[in-house]
Structure 1
Amino acid sequence: MNKNDFAPAPPMGWNSYDYYDTTVNEEQVRANADYMAKNLKEFGWEYIIVDIQWYAHHTGSRREQFQYIPFSKLEMDEYSRLQPDPVRFPSSAGGAGFAPLAAYIHSLGLKFGIHIMRGIPRAAAHAHSKILGTDVAADEVADPSSICGWNPDMYGVRNTSAGQAYYDSILKLYASWGVDFIKCDDICNTNLYTEHPYSARHEIEMISTAITRLGRPIVLSLSPGPALIDKAWHYGRYANMWRITDDFWDDWDLLKNMFCRCELWQKHVSRGCYPDLDMLPLGRLGKGFGKERQTNFTCQEQRTMMTLWCLFGSPLMLGAELTLLDEWTLSLLTNKEILSLATPDCRPWQIHRDETQAIWTGCNETDGSFYVALFNLSDKEKEISVSLEELFFCPYVRNPNIKGQDVIQLRDLWKDEISMFTGSTISQSVKPHDCVIYKIG
């Protein structure tokens, strides 16, 4: 199977991290899945992803000291493979793993994903645990010189046949559970090693190989960023998503910086290959961090974020507690016109960017739809203008009829309002940190 067919459009879903941190449990996952199936599935939202440390005991119990409790007890089988904590995930008891939870999510017409750390559990290496299908123990597979700087659970995996056997065994297990999506961490940029930030390159290839051998589609997402632009070809060959930023939160300076990152990566969006702008910090956030709050983004900033993520073609992952979504947030997530931009058929193109504004176009190469977005990056209301000449310079324009028209129709995708345009320049007053996006013609 071609891995590019695993995600023909940027994946859209929910991830437990932004609200629950390390503490999410089965009941909470099911509640968010129920909400998605009822309220969001028809708009393309389909993945339910359990984020970090689902295998660790007593998560969050010492949060004032540690996000990840040093060398805590991990649930693990005899073959060095991590298992869900049965206290938080009761249906996993007796070796069932995530299969019952995945089956429930599939019954809703949704897909199921999990977070993993690259590598093999340190506890397995110290205990000389078995590796399925080999006569080699975990201590011979583990590379103690390759660790994560912020999580204590794993050693890196050596680039050996036994190392590949270990990755084959965990992917086979995940497939048997019904996993459709894997977010692998400490692998896109191994930032502890500043002189060798792509030190886990071989592990990306090993995981990709293990998925290919399954003959079953599992989307592979790589974290954390920032991804290395000179390795774009490698990410695209072996993964479906890769983070081009470190953790993104609800701060305007971080959002403004995303325009720089999108400029850098705009030519690398294609079918099955998606530079990832990270999760959407909307709605209620931070409970697992001990700082529950409504997003700090203003309504204008939220609109800017959704427009940029969709027009750029980033995966869309919600971090909020879905059952607490307010009507405003729900309206952002169910705007079909905006969400329709998030397809590899709609090619993004930046026309202009400076400290105060950014102008982007998108052209759908399949149906010829053409869009322009005007972003106000400044702290004051601003008139933003773009000439038709600049718009039609976009190399992806496929609708020659637009160029010859004396009067052009503009449809505001957020307001669902139509206006008629004559002249050579489109100009609009835009509020601070806000945007407008028009479908042209």
Structure 2
Amino acid sequence: MLKLNFFMKKYLLTLFASLILNATSAQNLPVSLTPFAPSSPRINGPAVFGVRPGSPVIYNIPATGIRPIKFEIENLPKELTVDVATGMITGTLKARGEYALTLKATNQFGSAQKKFSIIVGDRIALTPPMGWSSWNAFGETITQEKIEQTARAMVKSGLSQHGFAYINMDDGWQGKRAGKYMGLQGNEKFPNMGALVDTIHKLGLKAGIYSTPWETSYAKFAGGSAETTTGEWKKAGNKFGAISFAKNDAMQWAAWGIDYLKYDWPIDVIHTEEMSKALHANKRDIVFSLSNSGKIADAEAYGKLAESWRTTGDIYDSWQQGEAFWHFSVSEIGFSQDKWAPYAAPGHWNDPDMLVVGQLGWGPKIKPTRLTADEQYSHISLWCMLSAPLILGCDLDKLDDFTIGLLTNDEVLDINQDKLGKQAIRTGSNGPIDFFLKPLFDGAFALAAFNRGDVAKTTTLNKVSFFGVSGKITRMRDLWRQQDIAEFNIDKSTLTIPPHGVILLKVWASN
């Protein structure tokens, strides 16, 4: 009798459950276009990782496939080690330069390998950060327990094996100033921040935190400045205190092992520069993410000081129209990013705010996103085309199979994580259909056709001016379905796009 190990049992149960779900999905859930990952390994995520000289290298190789998987690396520098069971790379590199490696993963069903570079220099976040932030699910009601639970859900759901790595505490953790650095400490809901960060790291993930240069945050918790040297402020409000604690807080975050900072206020260059210098003074790489409502006139300055910056106000889970003057819809934000494109590059990313798929709530009550299935496909496709940070805002303990499929299509995520780091721009339109084009590192292009209309629309691709690919198209691949489009004829073939939907393609062309 055939004996099955734990991982094979889990795989077969998952497959059986998915077959039942697919049989009833037409009645209950949207159909996921993403194919199941194979049993053999696939190494996912970016092909490049940046670290500053002397800062810790912390990279967990994301890979799908039935566990156990054995990880190996060719040409790994002697200063680094890899955990063969988990794929975690750790160590410190002091010499600047590019280290060319080959990542390898093997299990009982096969093996995979991937070219990978570690670049030691002045830039980090060489591809857009991928992770989760607490605000859109829990608002200010976060607790240490909820953050730990979410970190475990990131791993349990499999999202971490597709490149999602950051677990970010948004507004609501801040308590009083104390300790060696006179930095902000966790409030009563966060009794041991150091232990929380350690837990996140032990799961192979990275920890993020929230602050503001104001005396108090938007949710009226303590901020990064105050009226006295001990951190007191007189009245909650959106103003800068007489005394800045940027250096104190940066040292505290580095001591805890923080990997990501969301710095929140209407972005100005003076306070951005102050915190940037404070973060760089510590031997730990902390992704510096600015929020919110950046000014295009300051975009060049942002790129010299931070890894990402919000280009908008807050996003909401609506397609056409925001909830209030400070809330914006997916289409309002997503289709207005062309002017920011020149400022996107490896290590410097325009941020159109978090993803609003899955179950959201902003604190009071978790509910499914109001976006339709097609609108969610457009949302993820557009953010990937824009080289935007992919920061989830949903409750990771309440992921259904459709949402997991939406977030784990590696061919789609590869467009976001492409090494070239170019942001797509709108290259043409055909009625309600907008074409966006993104050049890729391998010489191919990502082409997205978005139907912004309220009814299905059929379009041809026989006008190259619609999307700007030069040369003759030799191959075209549907990325959501992970299938080549057989016998594609650019002069005759048509695409039918549902309302508010998308067709996302990878295109190869010859001169």
Give the TM-score band, short-chain normalised. 0.7 to 0.9
Give the whole-Å Cα distance in 2 for the aligned partners of 1:423 and 1:21.
48
SS in 2 for 1:264: helix
* 8 A Cα contact 2:344 2:421, kept in partner: no
Counterpart code for 1:37: V
| 1:392/1:175 CA distance change after superposition, 3 Å | same
Give the whole-Å Cα distance in 2 for the aligned partners of 1:239 and 1:127.
27
Please show how residues 122-133 of structure 1 align to structure 2 within 5 Å: 128-130=228-230
Give the whole-Å Cα distance in 1 for the aligned partners of 2:124 and 2:416.
16
Please show how residues 216-235 of structure 1 align to structure 2 within 5 Å: 216-225=284-293, 227-235=294-302
| 1:125/1:206 CA distance change after superposition, 3 Å | closer
- In structure 2, the partner of 1:238 is 305
* 8 A Cα contact 2:213 2:223, kept in partner: no
- In structure 1, the partner of 2:483 is 417
1:32 matched to 2:111? The reply is no
| 1:257/1:125 CA distance change after superposition, 3 Å | closer
- In structure 1, the partner of 2:276 is 208
Give the whole-Å Cα distance in 2 for the aligned partners of 1:285 and 1:371.
30
* 8 A Cα contact 2:349 2:387, kept in partner: yes
Instruction: Give the superposition deviation at 1:105.
Output: 0.5
Residues 120-179 of structure 1 show CA distances to partners (whole Å, capped at 9, x for unaligned) of: 46799877334xxxxxxx68xx9x9xx9xxxx3664156xxx74xx31121011100100
- In structure 1, the partner of 2:131 is 13
Give the stretch that moved more between structures: 306-315 or 337-346: 337-346
Residues 309-344 of structure 1 show CA distances to partners (whole Å, capped at 9, x for unaligned) of: 001100001111101100000001100000001135
- In structure 2, the partner of 1:113 is 208
Give the whole-Å Cα distance in 1 for the aligned partners of 2:460 and 2:450.
10
* 8 A Cα contact 1:263 1:350, kept in partner: yes
| 1:123/1:100 CA distance change after superposition, 3 Å | closer
- In structure 1, the partner of 2:246 is 167
* 8 A Cα contact 1:50 1:115, kept in partner: yes
| 1:319/1:124 CA distance change after superposition, 3 Å | closer
2:443 to 351, 368, 376: 368
1:276 matched to 2:351? The reply is yes
Give the whole-Å Cα distance in 1 for the aligned partners of 2:291 and 2:455.
35
Counterpart code for 2:286: I
SS in 2 for 1:233: helix
TM-score normalized with structure 2 length = 0.68
Give the whole-Å Cα distance in 2 for the aligned partners of 1:435 and 1:359.
10
Instruction: Give the superposition deviation at 1:355.
Output: 7.5
1:338 matched to 2:406? The reply is no
Give the whole-Å Cα distance in 2 for the aligned partners of 1:308 and 1:124.
34
- In structure 2, the partner of 1:382 is 457
SS in 2 for 1:337: helix
- In structure 1, the partner of 2:184 is 82
Give the whole-Å Cα distance in 2 for the aligned partners of 1:281 and 1:3.
34
Instruction: Give the superposition deviation at 1:119.
Output: 3.3
SS in 2 for 1:173: helix
* 8 A Cα contact 1:250 1:281, kept in partner: yes
Instruction: Give the superposition deviation at 1:101.
Output: 0.7
Counterpart code for 2:437: T
Residues 182-225 of structure 1 show CA distances to partners (whole Å, capped at 9, x for unaligned) of: 0000142xxxxxxxxxxx32110000011111132100111112
2:377 to 290, 295, 303: 303
Instruction: Give the superposition deviation at 1:281.
Output: 1.1
Residues 94-134 of structure 1 show CA distances to partners (whole Å, capped at 9, x for unaligned) of: xxxx211111111111100011122346799877334xxxx
| 1:249/1:5 CA distance change after superposition, 3 Å | same
Counterpart code for 1:75: K
Counterpart code for 2:210: H
Give the whole-Å Cα distance in 2 for the aligned partners of 1:113 and 1:211.
13
Give the whole-Å Cα distance in 1 for the aligned partners of 2:351 and 2:459.
27
Question: How many matched pairs?
Answer: 372
Instruction: Give the superposition deviation at 1:370.
Output: 1.7
Residues 65-86 of structure 1 show CA distances to partners (whole Å, capped at 9, x for unaligned) of: xxxxxxxxx4332776321113
1:186 matched to 2:265? The reply is yes
Counterpart code for 2:126: P
| 1:128/1:172 CA distance change after superposition, 3 Å | same
Instruction: Give the superposition deviation at 1:423.
Output: 3.6
* 8 A Cα contact 2:462 2:490, kept in partner: no
| 1:393/1:103 CA distance change after superposition, 3 Å | same
Which ranges in structure 1 are unaligned for 5 or more consecutive residues?
56-73, 93-97, 131-137, 189-199, 398-402
Question: What percentage of residue pairs aligned between the two structures are identical?
Answer: 29
Give the whole-Å Cα distance in 2 for the aligned partners of 1:392 and 1:173.
49
* 8 A Cα contact 1:281 1:295, kept in partner: yes
Instruction: Give the superposition deviation at 1:33.
Output: 0.5
Instruction: Give the superposition deviation at 1:277.
Output: 1.2
Give the stretch that moved more between structures: 255-264 or 373-382: 255-264
Counterpart code for 2:459: I
- In structure 2, the partner of 1:349 is 425
Give the whole-Å Cα distance in 1 for the aligned partners of 2:315 and 2:151.
23
RMSD: 2.6
Structure showing the higher helix proportion among its residues = 1
Residues 38-85 of structure 1 show CA distances to partners (whole Å, capped at 9, x for unaligned) of: 311110000000000212xxxxxxxxxxxxxxxxxx433277632111
| 1:210/1:11 CA distance change after superposition, 3 Å | same
Q: Work out which structure has the larger RCO, using CA pairs closer than 8 Å and 6 or more positions apart in sequence.
A: 1
Counterpart code for 1:328: F
| 1:312/1:125 CA distance change after superposition, 3 Å | closer
SS in 1 for 2:354: coil
SS in 1 for 2:415: coil
Give the whole-Å Cα distance in 2 for the aligned partners of 1:337 and 1:331.
12
Which ranges in structure 2 are unaligned for 5 or more consecutive residues?
1-51, 53-119, 217-221, 321-328
Instruction: Give the superposition deviation at 1:236.
Output: 0.7
Structure showing the higher strand proportion among its residues = 2
* 8 A Cα contact 2:447 2:506, kept in partner: yes
Instruction: Give the superposition deviation at 1:22.
Output: 0.2
* 8 A Cα contact 2:436 2:467, kept in partner: no
SS in 2 for 1:5: coil
* 8 A Cα contact 1:43 1:336, kept in partner: yes
* 8 A Cα contact 2:456 2:499, kept in partner: yes
Give the whole-Å Cα distance in 2 for the aligned partners of 1:201 and 1:246.
17
Please show how residues 389-404 of structure 1 align to structure 2 within 5 Å: 389-390=464-465, 393=468, 403-404=471-472
* 8 A Cα contact 1:351 1:360, kept in partner: yes
* 8 A Cα contact 2:211 2:223, kept in partner: no
